[in-house]
Amino acid sequence: MLKRLITAPLRWLDDRLGISEFVGPMAKHLVPRDAGWWYVFGSATMLAFMVQVVTGVALSFSYISSSSQAYETLKFISEDAPFGAFLRGMHYYGASAMVLMVGLHMAQVFLFGSYKFPREMNWTTGVLLLGFTMVMGFTGQLLRWDQNATWSVVVAAEQAGRVPFIGAWLAKFILGGDTVGGATLSRFFAIHVFVIPALIIAFIGLHLFLVLRHGISEPPTPGKPVDPKTYRKEYEELLQKSGHPFWPYGAWRDVVFGTGLLIAIALLAFFIGPPQLDKPPDPSVLQADPKPDWYLLWYFAVLALIPPKMESAVMILAPVFIGLLLLIAPILSNKGERSPARRPWSIAVVLLTVTMIGSLWIVGAKSPWSPDFDAQPLPPNVIGAASGPIFIGAKAFHDKGCLNCHLIDGYGGRRGPDLSHIGGLLTRDNIIIRIVNGGTNMPAFGSTLAPQEIDDLVAFLQSRTSSGKDARTLLQKGEPPPR
């Protein structure tokens, strides 16, 4: 009786809506029997996107995309709203999972040669989905509307402004005007919440249609190349001989892996929580060290490490080159061997990419090129004096912000040269010239320092030698240090 009460309405709905006729063929389509755990990353990417949609909608009930209220509403969500911090954490780690899964999926497809005939368009739509995912991650960062987010957008606009002919228009489009403001936030909110998700949903639909049309590629076999003339026939024979329905025989791994992914996202959101908000945005405060989220941190390192003369070329040409290279991969090689064993260069490409991104990510996390705006005053044992010109010069070195960029015996920033032994490298006159006139990235202090302040700074810097203790002793006695 109870079974009839449950199944009768379901049958009625299925009869009127035709759900089984639509879902049935997809669930029952044949897949290669030996398609194993390497094939779970695609469905995991879609699951992570679903997490983004659900948590994003939930957050939008409280979030206000206004320059005067966005920061405060996000603080309310994080600190006061029921489950607010957990939802923010789910949204943040869901984005991280989506980026990671789509990257693994692309690497697996590339290694297995699954972009070859007849699945060239599967690869193309996947590349576009990768791009949309990165854009969604970047636009989402601005919605935090803190100091770090707003300065990151300024960096992006400055980069776009270098594009020939249309650079000024692109920068203005990104900012929604000439400067960061309410129009910028509204624009990014619309792109993040409406435009990019709509594109992702459309291309996921197209991607799934192509998967159903061409089938899931079988694991590659060494010595069995792809021949466009015979491949379709060989693939159909393989499915008829050893294939099995996707549900449940092929889908159970997707379910297990997807469940594990959901649990991991939830645990991270619960125990670690969302990223901390920086200070509220203030364009008048220039002491900022903007960093993107981890999945774009490697690119942040590239932009910081390239020589100034090459900045424009790398900023403009590198993304275009990488994007075109990914898109034309099926054109360059749509037949032949698929096995990584017969394509060792494909393994080398993936390993090189992972190594490069990983190394740049580590450097980006440390960001040695950024000033340390929280640099503490030098301790007495480093200064080597409790009074006199060296002590006063050390204090001025900190108060004037020099310690933000320069390292002294392991203290300070790394944006500029290490000055721990500068007294043994430059003469007094050369040190004065550098202080007064500045350098490549160093401002000139000649108009802001009194002559006595310059003398004190020079005294302190001249005490910084490899035999600094002896030099400081001589200076304290009023004798010149060795040159």
Overall average pLDDT of the 434-455 stretch: 84
DSSP string, 89-147: HHHHHHHHHHHHHHHHHHHHHHHTTTTSTT-HHHHHHHHHHHHHHHHHHHHHHHTT-SH
CA angle 371, 373, 376 (to 5 degrees): 115
Sequence-separated (6 or more) residues with CB below 8 Å from residue 71: 144, 145, 146, 277, 280, 281
pLDDT of residue 19: 83
Overall average pLDDT of the 76-101 stretch: 96
pLDDT, mean over the chain = 89
The verdict on pTM exceeding 0.85 is no
Q: Which of 391, 400, 393 is closest to 443 using CA atoms? A: 400
Q: Which of 163, 181, 250, 176 is closest to 215 using CA atoms? A: 250
Overall average pLDDT of the 381-395 stretch: 89
DSSP string, 312-364: HHHHHHHHHHHHHHHHTHHHH-SSB---TTT-HHHHHHHHHHHHHHHHHHHHH
Domains, the chain, ordered by start: 29-366 (1.20.810.10), 380-476 (1.10.760.10)
Q: Per mean pLDDT, which range of 70-84, 90-104, 309-323, 328-342 is the poorest?
A: 309-323
pLDDT of residue 11: 87
Q: Read off φ and ψ for residue 411, nearest 5 degrees.
A: -110, 140
Residue of 459 and 367 predicted with greater confidence: 459
Q: Per mean pLDDT, which range of 86-95, 282-291, 346-355 is the poorest?
A: 282-291
**Helix 451-462 and helix 428-437: axis angle, to 10°?**
130
Overall average pLDDT of the 47-61 stretch: 97
- The residues with which 31 forms a beta bridge, in sequence order, are 244
235: amino acid identity, one letter: Y
Q: Given a cut of 60, is residue 480 above it in pLDDT?
A: no
How far, in Å, CA of 420 to CA of 375, rounded? Answer: 15
Q: Per mean pLDDT, which range of 257-271, 312-326, 365-379 is the poorest?
A: 365-379
Count of C-beta atoms within a 10 Å radius of residue 282: 12
Overall average pLDDT of the 449-463 stretch: 91
Q: Given a cut of 50, is residue 481 above it in pLDDT?
A: no
The DSSP symbol for 387 reads S
Confidence category of residue 284, pLDDT binned at 50, 70, 90:
low
pLDDT of residue 474: 45
Sequence-separated (6 or more) residues with CB below 8 Å from residue 210: 119, 121, 122, 125
pLDDT of residue 440: 67
How far, in Å, CA of 335 to CA of 115, rounded? Answer: 9
Confidence category of residue 476, pLDDT binned at 50, 70, 90:
very low
Overall average pLDDT of the 259-274 stretch: 97
Note whether 16 and 231 are within 8 A (CB).
no
What percent of the chain has a predicted confidence (pLDDT) above 70? 94
How far, in Å, CA of 78 to CA of 273, rounded? Answer: 9
